[in-house]
Structure 1
């Protein structure tokens, strides 16, 4: 029946409360929702922009045996899209919330129903601690809603110039840093363009229709020279 909502998991931890819900949409489809500290974070009504974070970044990277770092597991759609992309040999996903990693292991995340792929490494922690210089061909960040609407204020540093510089330094020359944002962000685009060794900074505005309204999300990309 439409509107039925089932709690799949709820955990309180050092970063607040995380809850996973499943509800039935009006068309009968099952929808999974992630709520953080009582704030709606995401669902899988439309996952096109989470998947575009992966596909748009990797479309700009040449070569094979690619290593990719994903900051933020979410419902698993970005990680799954990376694994489905040609030439990917290693995917490291760093997630701050331990609960999401446990739910992934039990198959509760709709985008990543299995974590058995040997290329996949799920790591608990802060993605900023995984920025090893020249380590990855692509770094994809979806740890919050972007710099203008943060769920966790502590993520602000990731979107500042020093944090972005460290993220880009983790990318090998010719590789790409990509960031998901809940809104287009000219300020973030300007910061990316001004980073040392940054070239080809761009912002893709991705409209999504939900509940009769059109929302504009964005993926921002920059290549390391």
Structure 2
């Protein structure tokens, strides 16, 4: 197996690298790494698709959706496949990653970003939520890490704590849902979400990754109509 670097960027958070994995026994794929740590690839996209589909199922009318974290675009792609969705705001902190998607360095990027329902915001999701209009969205999908136990950057720990969760709740309409995907059970996150929203539902999902059965968790909290 051979890895060929396709693109590299130095950011405030460190090094971002896109590389191509060439294996004579498997399809060629792209891999994204941050500071040397594997983030995601185009070979295994089941968890991203499962996050979007499970989160969308929580909301009757997901007209306006926030996807926190662009990644390689697969969560966004699954959200756009739902015809109930009228607009998607993708909040991504790395300008380089957005540029790679727009330029076709990530080949499927231009077609995804050409969807007229998509708006890309280059910003920290915490700042974006703090500045967003109240009751603007029906669904927020937090997809910047694999949950609080698997952070891409240490500063992301704040995204699973009460101040950020309260800011996210303010941007949701009555009945709106904050959905957080986690690669492991996260009881502290569950308790914190419950303290903010007054409810939380933790649901395990079986995902097949690299021919292995993995169990992920979706934590979903809803803004009640009485809130």
TM score, norm. by length of structure 2: 0.89
RMSD of aligned alpha carbons: 1.9
* 1:53 lines up with 2:54 in the alignment: no
| Residues 76 and 109 in structure 1, CA contact (< 8 A), matched pair in contact too | no
Q: Please name the residue that 1:35 is paired with.
A: 33
**Structure 1 residues 27 and 221, CA gap change in structure 2 (3 angstroms):** farther
Q: Distance in 2 between matches of 1:59 and 1:184?
A: 20
In structure 2, C-alpha distance between the alignment counterparts of 1:84 and 1:216, rounded to whole Å:
24
Structure 1 stretches lacking a partner, 5+ long: none
Q: Deviations over 1:37-88 (max 9, x none)?
A: 1111112332122112221121121236x11111100110011111111211
CA distance in 2, matches of 1:46, 1:174: 32
1:203–1:218 contact (8 Å) kept in structure 2: yes
Does the 8 Å CA contact 2:44/2:210 hold for their aligned counterparts?
no
CA–CA distance in structure 2, aligned partners of residues 211 and 91 of structure 1: 30
Instruction: Tell me by how many angstroms 1:14 deviates.
Output: 1.0
Find the counterpart in structure 1 of residue 156 from structure 2: 155
Q: How many residues align?
A: 220
Superposition pairs of residues 189-200 of structure 1, within 5 angstroms: 189-196=190-197, 198-199=198-199
1:202 aligns with 2:205: no
Matching of residues 121-160 of structure 1 within 5 Å: 121-131=119-129, 132=132, 133-160=134-161
Which residue in 2 is equivalent to 1:91? 88
Q: CA deviation at 1:111?
A: 6.0
- Is this contact kept in 1: 2:46–2:209, CA < 8 A? no
In the TM superposition, what is the alpha-carbon distance from 1:158 to its structure 2 partner? 1.1
Give ranges in structure 2 of 5+ residues lacking alignment: none
Give the CA deviation at 1:110.
5.8
CA distance in 2, matches of 1:206, 1:89: 27
Find the residue that maps to 1:73 and give its secondary structure.
coil
Q: Is contact 2:103–2:109 with CA below 8 Å preserved after alignment? A: no
Query: Cα distance 1:213–1:49, how it changes in 2: closer, same or farther (>3 A)?
Result: closer
Shift of 1:202: 1.6
Tell me: CA distance 1:83–1:150, structure 2 relative to 1, closer, same or farther (3 Å): same
